[in-house]
Amino acid sequence: MPNPTAAMLVIGDEILSGRTRDSNMHHLAKELTKAGIDLREARVVADDAAAIGAAVKELSGAHDHLFTSGGIGPTHDDITADTVAAALGRSIDVRADARALLEAHYARTGGELNAARLRMARIPEDATLIDNPISAAPGFTLDNVHVLAGVPAIFEAMLASVLPTLTGGAPLMSQSIQIFRGEGEIAGPLRDLAGRFPDLSFGSYPFQRDGAFCANVVVRGSDAARLDAAVAELHRLFPE
Amino acid sequence: MPNPTAAMLVIGDEILSGRTRDSNMHHLAKELTKAGIDLREARVVADDAAAIGAAVKELSGAHDHLFTSGGIGPTHDDITADTVAAALGRSIDVRADARALLEAHYARTGGELNAARLRMARIPEDATLIDNPISAAPGFTLDNVHVLAGVPAIFEAMLASVLPTLTGGAPLMSQSIQIFRGEGEIAGPLRDLAGRFPDLSFGSYPFQRDGAFCANVVVRGSDAARLDAAVAELHRLFPE
């Protein structure tokens, strides 16, 4: 059975303006690979309801899971929850379960649960809350869309509580070798090898060291013995 | 006149598997902001011709510029040039001008211009070459699509030679202030302020310091006097 597929939607003007560098995509990519879920596509859009809504519809329709990051705080530019609800045809309002989480948090920390903060209790009907152990305001899962916070520590904590609830596939394994030759010298033999191992995927990723071009060749697949055989062939082809 | 818009397409399995962390998106975002070009969307897709082709068609049709990163090396998984040519309805073959660049490079460095490396001279008809001062193999611009290398040093060098040829808009200016209160306490006044300055955009970006939630509030616009006025108001609202 093929592995489940996933997409990611990063929401935030600050990424597209270059003010902030996103780190959630890289974290999600590593965690999904470990879980045997294939991340097929990632997108970054601005804090714009039309752009978010269109991407949520398209990506949730095309993949088994969609993970979003950002736009669920208390300020006027936080529109993710409302936009996801609209895209999936659900109503949204302050929900008692989410409100109770915030009330308990602010009672404990001494903050005030004002109108702005209460917006973080707006949760679509039918959604399941995702625990936020850091600042209480929950994420949620609605259908196959997992709506997580943008602050990296909170994103990572929310993901850690969602991932064990999903059914993954066979973990994709990979092995890599560094080859201290330019990609142009290894491309021909590598293509032939890839043809002989159609069940594996071969990637070549160039890098520079001391001014010389080198390549990491990565072989991926779900059969350990086949991976071993392909990597042995690589070592034979490119000894050093 | 509104600023020109742009999208980015990052091509590469290695980003989606979490093996490599993309840095070109963040670099492009910063450079386009300086040039007065609005980056509206970024996508990451795998080394898959259907996914690349669909994204090239959609993004080049929706924006004034599309920048791609990755997939123009000599190995079998480098399919960007052929896919972009097909998406834009052009033929592609080894082109004499690109071949001459590679011949000169390998004559100088002592490498062999073999069949794999010659693939890097495959350039669509009508495309304009983009100089690669590092390893010779050129990028290209076809219509409004700028095809750049994935290796960050080469991506940045190619971008530096393309950007001055594009017509930018008024550089978007921004000012920011750090507010040592949680977003929930500033959200109400910030929303009111944003309503009074509809020509500016206000973003609020939470961060944690010593366990306390704080926010960077960023105001963006193209009129310096209006920016100054809005930031003065912010300092008045949130003194400290």
Q: Would you tell me which residues 52-91 of chain B have a C-beta closer than 8 angstroms to some C-beta of chain A?
A: 73-77
Quick one: A49 exposed, middle or buried, by C-beta within 10 A (0-12, 13-18, 19+)? middle
At residue A199, the 3 state secondary structure works out as: coil
Are A124 and A85 a contacting pair, CB within 8 Å?
yes
pLDDT digits over B132-160, tens only? 988 899 999 999 999 999 999 999 999 99
Cα separation, A87 vs A81, whole angstroms: 10
Q: Which two tokens stand for residue A154?
A: 């909170």
Q: Up-side HSE of residue B44: CA atoms within 13 Å toward CB?
A: 29
Quick one: B58 exposed, middle or buried, by C-beta within 10 A (0-12, 13-18, 19+)? middle
Q: Would you tell me which residues 218-237 of chain A have a C-beta closer than 8 angstroms to some C-beta of chain B?
A: 218, 220
Over chain A, what is the mean pLDDT?
92
Domains and CATH numbers, chain B: 5-165 (3.40.980.10), 173-237 (3.30.70.600)
Question: What pTM did the predictor assign?
Answer: 0.87
Nearest neighbour of A187 by CB, restricted to B19, B45, B116:
B116
CB distance B19–A218 less than 8 Å? yes
pLDDT digits over B83-142, tens only? 999 999 999 999 999 999 999 999 998 888 999 999 999 999 999 999 998 889 999 999
Q: Say if B20 is an interface residue toward chain A (CB within 8 Å).
A: yes
Using a CB-CB cut-off of 8 Å, the residues of chain B touching A117 are 184, 187
User: Which of B15, B25, B216 should we substitute to test contact with A (largest number of A Cβ atoms within 10 Å)?
Assistant: B25
pLDDT digits over A180-222, tens only? 888 888 999 999 999 999 999 898 888 878 778 888 898 988 8
Using a CB-CB cut-off of 8 Å, the residues of chain A touching B30 are 18
Q: Up-side HSE of residue A191: CA atoms within 13 Å toward CB?
A: 15
